[in-house]
């Protein structure tokens, strides 16, 4: 593995490389950080490896004269523009779950806000069309595009929006991680094919006249139908989710007025050899020097000394977008590739001997969950881990443990931590306890973060998570292993309030569980209805799209606040809300001095006590008479 300078961000930088023009312009809503954890950098380096001259247009202005200067900075690229909103959805980057403006943007220089527009992918594509017209190919990709590729519920509008491909005016949309799709598109454009002819690339979407709709595949309810019917929206969601497997997934079509949106079958995930090649590309592993004066880009800090060893997640929680973006099929890098990256990290200027994470979407996944997936795909009718592990599950940490052991022995490395999510239910399904022991002994920096999310069986079913008994068995074993190792390390459970399926009674149940287990969460996450998840479909429709069953959804802000307050009811500022919640839930029995009580009864005001005493004495005098 080697490093090289970042890709050029201006025509002057391109000319310094001896280029008179560029082949492709990569437009991103993030600041340009040349690190494999940043999607724009990853795609840029993949295109560079194809021999292309790639320019990066990061966080361009989108209004006024500066917008024209930015978008025309490189001139007309030979192949076209490749556009992404950034590492996360631009609306999530800008707004909290309460729809309030965030005060910091981790993917912008100095953490500044306001350097990208709302709905960045759409805005950037429209700017390209404004300054270059229809002649230049525009390919839209990245997380924002991937999760909004069909007609989708938009939380910020509280309405159904069309496919982002229809709104943006782009020619093609790549969904999923995108490397192989992008390479296939670039090669064919370079060979002289028109972008309108590229309708057979897997992992892409295109729009065509309904009269040109291809045969085969499946058709889901149209934009008009999902906009007017909750049942049809849920039905469309179910069809889209079922066809995301690279082995069994069919093309999915959705009518948008007179045009048909066509999603081709998913692109197979990168193999181990392909992942190794991608991560061996010469990333500079830093932000572009243009950001030095602004203090750099905060989002780099967490990943700079971390290693991604896998992709995909067969956990497939309903509130997580991974199943719709990366997919459920797990692939991983080779041991040699991971060790090479670790050696490279030790040579970086600010490395202090600590690898912060060796993880991915789920840290302790290395292989598909069962043997049949490579040829038969993942099961369409059940999850691998929830509500209980499948009988065909292969729970094996030996390969991951072997990599961690090798990393610990490398010169210059003092500690190797695991900070991304551990699936505790998968860990407990492994009959060999060696990984759990060494996790406790070597790979925790004081706290291990895990995600039980809730304790109510009904809510966990709506989440697609295992039942709480699995977490309790894990927590007991974790405590025992820490005692044996003579370590004082803690569990930090992630908890979510107001997820579809959670009413006040479920929130009370969770509050009681936290009290019994002596858990005082410092932070509670409200459910955030982001595009492309089953849970967001539940939030919008009140229906579980996979079963058709009705699901309770708390949409009232005050109701959400009461649920959240119950989970942190010991905080003085939450007392009034928690007390109101208990009253509404008919659980006044949980207010008092008993061991089971969540709130202590308030001491009466001194003036009230005095009046009660006077009233008592007056009664005694009457009795005496």
pLDDT of res. 135: 87
Find the mean pLDDT for residues 594-617. 69
Whether pLDDT at 600 is above 60: yes
What's the CA angle centered on 397, arms 394 and 403, to 5 degrees? 140
Grouping H, G, I as helix, E, B as strand and the rest as coil, residue 50 is coil
Domains and CATH numbers, the chain: 11-206 (3.40.50), 298-590 (3.80.30.20)
Average pLDDT over residues 489-508: 96
N- to C-terminal Cα separation, the chain: 99
Q: Report residue 86 as tokens.
A: 């950034």
What is the Cα–Cα distance from 298 to 325, expressed in whole angstroms? 25
Strand partners for 173: 140, 205
Residues ≥6 apart with Cβ < 8 Å to 199: 206, 208, 214, 262, 264
What is the predicted pLDDT for the residue at 613?
Answer: 62
Mean pLDDT confidence for 284-289: 96
Residue 625: what pLDDT?
Answer: 45
CA–CA dist 541, 99 (Å, integer): 20
Is residue 182 a contact partner of residue 47, using CB atoms and an 8 Å limit? yes
The phi, psi pair for 79, rounded to 5°, reads: -100, -40
Contact predicate 134/77, CB 8 Å:
no
Sign of the C-alpha dihedral, residues 532, 535, 539, 545?
positive
- CA 291, CA 297: separation in Å to the nearest integer? 7
Assess whether pLDDT exceeds 80 at residue 284: yes
Minimal CA–CA distance to 263: which of 199, 326, 197, 316? 199
> Measured between alpha carbons, how far is 510 from 312 in angstroms, rounded to an integer?
30
Instruction: Indicate if the pLDDT at residue 611 is higher than 70.
Output: no
Q: How far apart are CA 64 and CA 271, in angstroms?
A: 45
What pLDDT was estimated at residue 610?
Answer: 62
Residue 192 tokens, joined: 């002289």
Flag whether pLDDT at 86 surpasses 50: yes
Measured CA distances, 561 to 365, 505, 555 (Å)? 35, 14, 10
Q: Which residues pair with 416 in a beta bridge?
A: 355
pLDDT value, residue 333: 98
Q: Are 342 and 307 in contact (CB under 8 A)?
A: yes
Report pLDDT for 522.
82
Half-sphere exposure of 561 (CA within 13 A, CB side): 11
| Cβ–Cβ < 8 Å for 419, 435 | no
Contacts of 381 (CB under 8 A, 6+ apart): none
- Match 């936290």 to its residue by tokens: 514
Q: 571: how many CB neighbours lie within 10 A of its CB?
A: 12
What number of residues does the chain have? 625
Residues 378-431 have pLDDT tens digits of 999 899 999 999 999 999 999 999 999 999 999 999 999 999 889 999 999 999
Read off the pTM: 0.93
Checking if the pLDDT of 621 tops 60, the result is no
Is the model's pLDDT at 624 over the cut of 90? no
Query: Is pLDDT above 70 for 184?
Result: yes
* Residues 328-381 pLDDT 10s: 999 999 999 999 999 999 999 999 999 999 999 999 999 999 999 999 999 998
Pairing of strands 310-311, 331-332: antiparallel
Under the banding of pLDDT at 50, 70 and 90, the label for residue 3 is confident
Instruction: Please give the share of the chain, as a percent, with pLDDT higher than 70.
Output: 96
Q: What is the DSSP string of 54-79?
A: EEEEES---SHHHHHHHHTTT-S-SS
pLDDT of residue 612: 54
**pLDDT tens digit sequence for 93-131:** 999 999 999 999 999 999 999 999 999 999 999 999 999
């Amino acid at each position: 593995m080697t490093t090289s300078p970042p890709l050029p961000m201006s025509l002057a930088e391109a000319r310094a490389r001896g280029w008179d023009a560029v082949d492709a312009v990569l437009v991103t809503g993030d600041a340009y950080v040349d690190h494999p954890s940043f999607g724009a950098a990853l795609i840029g380096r993949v295109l560079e490896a194809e021999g292309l001259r790639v320019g990066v247009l990061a966080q361009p202005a989108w209004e006024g004269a500066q917008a024209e200067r930015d978008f025309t900075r490189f001139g007309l690229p030979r192949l076209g523009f490749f556009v992404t909103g950034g590492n996360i959805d631009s609306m999530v980057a800008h707004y909290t779950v309460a729809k309030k403006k965030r005060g910091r943007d981790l993917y912008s220089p100095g953490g500044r806000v306001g350097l990208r527009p709302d709905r960045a992918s759409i805005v950037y594509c429209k700017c390209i069309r404004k300054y270059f017209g229809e002649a230049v190919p525009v390919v839209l990709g990245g997380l924002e595009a991937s999760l909004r590729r069909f007609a989708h519920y938009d939380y910020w509008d509280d309405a159904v929006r069309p496919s982002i491909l229809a709104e943006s005016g782009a020619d093609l949309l790549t969904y999923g991680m995108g490397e192989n799709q992008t390479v296939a598109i670039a090669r064919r454009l370079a060979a002289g094919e028109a972008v309108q002819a590229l309708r057979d690339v897997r992992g892409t979407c295109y729009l065509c006249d309904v009269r040109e709709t291809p045969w085969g595949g499946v058709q889901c309810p149209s934009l008009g139908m999902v906009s007017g019917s909750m049942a049809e929206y849920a039905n469309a969601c179910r069809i889209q989710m079922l066809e995301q497997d690279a082995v069994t997934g069919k093309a999915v079509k959705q009518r948008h007025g007179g045009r048909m949106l066509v999603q081709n079958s998913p692109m197979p995930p990168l193999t181990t050899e392909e992942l190794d090649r991608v991560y061996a590309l010469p990333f500079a592993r830093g932000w572009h020097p243009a950001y030095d004066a602004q203090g750099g880009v905060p989002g780099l800090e967490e990943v700079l000394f971390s290693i991604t060893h896998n992709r995909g997640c067969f956990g497939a929680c309903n509130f997580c977008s991974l199943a719709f973006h990366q997919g459920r099929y797990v692939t991983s890098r080779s041991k040699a590739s991971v060790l090479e990256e670790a050696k490279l990290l030790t040579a970086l200027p600010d490395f202090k001997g600590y690898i912060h994470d060796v993880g991915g979407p789920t840290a302790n996944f290395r292989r598909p969950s069962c043997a049949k997936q490579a040829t038969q795909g993942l099961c369409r009718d059940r999850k691998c881990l929830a509500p209980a592990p499948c009988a065909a599950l292969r729970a094996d940490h030996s390969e991951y443990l072997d990599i961690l052991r090798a990393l610990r022995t490398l010169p210059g490395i003092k500690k190797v931590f695991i900070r991304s999510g551990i699936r505790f239910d998968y860990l407990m399904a492994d009959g060999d306890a060696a990984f759990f022991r060494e996790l406790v002994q070597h790979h925790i920096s004081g706290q291990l973060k895990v995600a039980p999310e809730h304790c109510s069986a009904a809510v966990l079913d709506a989440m697609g998570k295992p039942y709480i008994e699995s977490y309790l068995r894990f927590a007991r074993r974790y405590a025992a292993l820490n005692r044996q190792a003579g370590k004082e390390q803690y569990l930090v459970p992630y908890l979510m309030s107001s997820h579809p399926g959670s009413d006040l009674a479920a929130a009370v149940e969770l509050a009681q569980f936290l009290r019994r287990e002596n858990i005082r969460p410092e932070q509670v996450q409200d459910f955030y209805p982001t595009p492309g998840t089953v849970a967001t479909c539940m939030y919008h429709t009140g229906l579980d799209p996979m079963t058709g069953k009705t699901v309770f959804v708390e949409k009232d802000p005050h109701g959400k606040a009461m649920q959240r307050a119950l989970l942190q009811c010991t905080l003085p500022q939450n007392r009034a809300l928690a007390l109101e919640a208990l009253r509404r839930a008919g659980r006044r029995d949980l207010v008092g001095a008993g061991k089971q009580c969540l709130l202590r009864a308030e001491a009466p005001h001194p003036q009230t006590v005095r009046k009660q005493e006077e009233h008592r004495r007056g009664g005694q005098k009457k009795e005496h008479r």
